[in-house]
Structure 1
Amino acid sequence: MSTVKNILIVYGGGGSEHEVSKVSSAYIFECISKTKHFNPILVEITKEGHWEQAGRKCSLNGRILKTPTEQPYIDYAIPCIHGHPGETGEIQGFFQTIGLPYFGPSSEGSIHCFNKVTTKLWLDMLGISNSPWMSQNINEEIDTDKVKAFFAKSNNDVFIKASNQGSSVGCYHVTKEDFLKSTITEAFKFSQNVIIEKSIKARELEIAVFEYQGKVIATEPGEIICPDGFYSYEEKYSKTSHTKTDVRAKNVSPEISKQMQEAAIKAFKAFNLKHLSRVDFFYTGDKYYLNEINTFPGMTPISMFPQMLEGTGLKFDEYLRDNIDSCLK
């Protein structure tokens, strides 16, 4: 392939994970640059909503990226945005409208996976084990009796989560009944829907699911080892984090590992995902529960997805090149 292709890498978005997106985009830029027939172009969606390339305002008019000095034709896009408007599906819808091929799942797949209520409903329908849960909607009065009954049934230990947030934003651990209503109200600041989920005392395992040469592949589980027991936003990305990661989790039987890989691939296909996802599980030693599906996982130097993928023997830049070239044939 001799013609150089312009690859637009869009990052930022102004959400709670703006800075993480910036670090991820730098890693992707580095990987894309290793392929001679790719010309990566970084564009930031600023916290104010402006599109900027190298600090200059720009705009994407159809497939043309208009900057003060250049107007390159964009062949392919990578929406490297964690949270809004990337994992929420908006930017994918925009790319679909202008006919621009892009990396990652469709708008529909992103929307379903980013909404924790929708994800839970799909998992229940698919028969994939997930933790007991209930939900509340901001437009209805909080059903205090129902919430308290669920709390008691959950051994007085739940997580209350904003439905449409990522990286543990709007997520609270509650062990006292008196704090249930106020915490739900606090979570409503981040999302119109809130889920109340039974706390599972378990190991946190992750599986990278990705497409390569036309096949859907699931890695063996990796593990997040968080000494505080709650993998908060700060623990994920702080330089002072005490959390450790194992690219290949220890003491997980081949049988359980295979079952989790099968569940991850089943969910990937059922949600109509594409190219990549990180599927997170709780593992108690005898049972596993699918916790969530991340449609554009972190690509920082300490992120699990690229590490687990490369643990299969595949280089991350080769993986990107294969998927991009396949789309552009």
Structure 2
Amino acid sequence: MTDKIKVGLIFGGNSSEYEVSIMSAHNIYEEIDTNKFDVYPMWITNDGYLADDADSRKVLDNPKMEVANISNIIELKDRPEIDVFFPIVHGNLGEDGCLQGLFRVLDKPFVGDDVLAAAVTMDKEMTKILAQRAGVPVAKWIAVKRFEYNDPDNEKLDYEYVASQLGSDLFVKPSNQGSSVGVSHVTNEKEYKVALAEAFKYDDKVLVEETVHGTEVETAVLGNDKPIVAGVGQIINAKDSFYTYENKYDDDSTSTLEIPAKLPEGIVETVRKNALKVFQATECSGLARIDSMLRSEDNEVVLTEVNALPGFTNISMYPKLFEEIGIPYTDLITKLIDYAMERYDHKKTLLHKHD
């Protein structure tokens, strides 16, 4: 019998999505195929330290646990040689290319996007620019950098000016955050100023976008060179609400997920085709969830963002969409690890060609 593949499951991290990461890791830890894989949980605390093996396993059952022992991530103390990493660290430092760069330095395969795709998809403005290049509609926007925010005379701080460009109904969001953290819906000058201050708590670049009225539609992509696009799910929010952090993860959420979405076939196919275009334009590999708005006035599908490391909680859209097309959670985890190994082997082959 061949030895099991040793999987380093990395979760937590110094991020606004710390709790979501632990929930995702818990599910993966419980559902991974233990006939094929030995799992070594690696809890990165809020302080940015890697807990030892024992504490990493305990926190999956008790997310509020305090860490007692810490060690440097490069040393990987108390663990055997890892064959492949499975990062499920959401948000900054986890899905923005930093952790992916560490794996490249360690010369190890890892699940999910490579360095470039991770960095690009974490930045909502860069994603928009590449989506436009691929011919996928996006909401109109203005980017505000911190140096502009610190200049009281900058016209981007003037609600009337921004409203003249984008309309009076706006969303303000950090360019590099996920799970709707720091996002505000504004319709007047007072709200706009408060929203900018809130968004700049999380990033040095903030996007101001026109509001696209409609419902959120999402699809999931799996694979490397020949990716599979799942069906489409729809998020039904309570009236006058948007898909906030609480609506995504709280038990008393006012949002419901409809899988598959009850939409005309033509719209479903547009969502799926756009998702594939964006996945390839941003050079994603392994996995991504592509979020869009189905605009009410004309049924146009408008890209919202690319989530290159989507949630894997028990209510997350990504695994649910693949389960709906016949890929259950455990098999999905296996496929993601297989794709990580495939990409790593391909890169090794390219390097050896030039030796």
- Residue-by-residue CA offset, 1:218-249 (whole Å, 9 max, x unaligned): 11210111104211111111122121111211
* Equivalent position of 1:260 in the other structure: 271
1:38-97: per-residue Cα shift (whole Å, max 9, x none)? 101111000111101222434444xx7322xxx401000001111022111111000011
Partner-residue secondary structure (3-state), 1:241? coil
Contact 2:137-2:301 within 8 A present in 1 as well = yes
Pairing 1:114-193 to 2, within 5 Å after superposition:
114-140=122-148, 141=151, 142-144=154-156, 148-193=160-205
Report if the CA contact (8 A) 2:24-2:312 is conserved: yes
What CA distance in whole angstroms lies between the structure 2 residues aligned with 1:172 and 1:87? 23
Aligned to 2:93, the other structure's residue is in SS state: coil
2:88 matched to which residue of 1?
Answer: 80
Q: Following TM superposition, by how much is the alpha carbon of 1:183 offset from its aligned partner in structure 2, in angstroms?
A: 2.6
1:11-50 deviation per Cα after TM superposition (whole angstroms, max 9, x unaligned): 0002111111001001111222x24131011110001111
2:104 to 93, 96, 112: 96
Matched, 1:280 2:291: yes
In 2, Cα distance between equivalents of 1:262 and 1:183? 34
CA contact (8 A) 1:144 1:181 kept: no
Contact 1:223 1:249 in 2 (8 A): yes
Deviation at 1:131, TM superposition (A): 0.9
Instruction: Give 5+ residue unaligned stretches, structure 2.
Output: 56-68, 346-355
Q: Tell whether the 8 Å contact from 2:103 to 2:110 is kept in structure 1 after alignment.
A: yes
Structure 1 residue 111 corresponds to structure 2 residue 110 = no
Secondary structure of the residue that 2:39 maps to in structure 1? strand
Q: Does the 8 A contact of 1:172 with 1:183 survive in 2?
A: yes
Equivalent residue pairs, number: 321
The aligned counterpart of 2:259 is 247
Letter in structure 2 aligned against 1:186: E
Secondary structure of residue in 2 paired with 1:209? strand
Separation of aligned partners in 2, 1:298 and 1:259: 24
Q: Which is worse superposed, 314-323 or 99-108?
A: 314-323
What is the Cα deviation at residue 148 of structure 1?
Answer: 2.4
**Distance in 1 (alpha carbons) for counterparts of 2:175 and 2:156:** 19
Please list, as runs of the form range in 1=range in 2, the aligned pairs for 1:286-325 lying within 5 A after superposition.
286-325=299-338
1:145–1:184 Cα change, 3 Å? closer
**Alignment of 1:10 onto 2:10:** yes
Deviations, residues 118-156 of structure 1 (Å, cap 9, x unaligned): 112212222210111111111123324775233145441
1:224 is the counterpart of 2:235: yes
In 2 relative to 1, CA 219–325 (structure 1 residues): closer, same or farther, beyond 3 Å? closer
Whether the 8 Å contact between 2:159 and 2:189 is mirrored in structure 1 is no
Query: In angstroms, what is the RMSD of aligned CA positions?
Result: 1.9
Measure the CA separation in 2 of the matches of 1:300 and 1:178: 36
Residue in structure 2 matched with residue 269 of structure 1 by the alignment: 280
More helix by share: 2
Shift of 1:193: 0.7
Name structure 1 gaps, 5 residues minimum. Answer: none
Report the alpha carbon displacement of residue 4 of structure 1 after superposing the two structures with TM.
1.5
Q: What amino acid is the match of 1:77?
A: F
Whether the 8 Å CA contact 1:156–1:177 is kept in 2: the answer is: no
* Structure-2-length-normalised TM-score: 0.85
**2:193 partner letter:** K
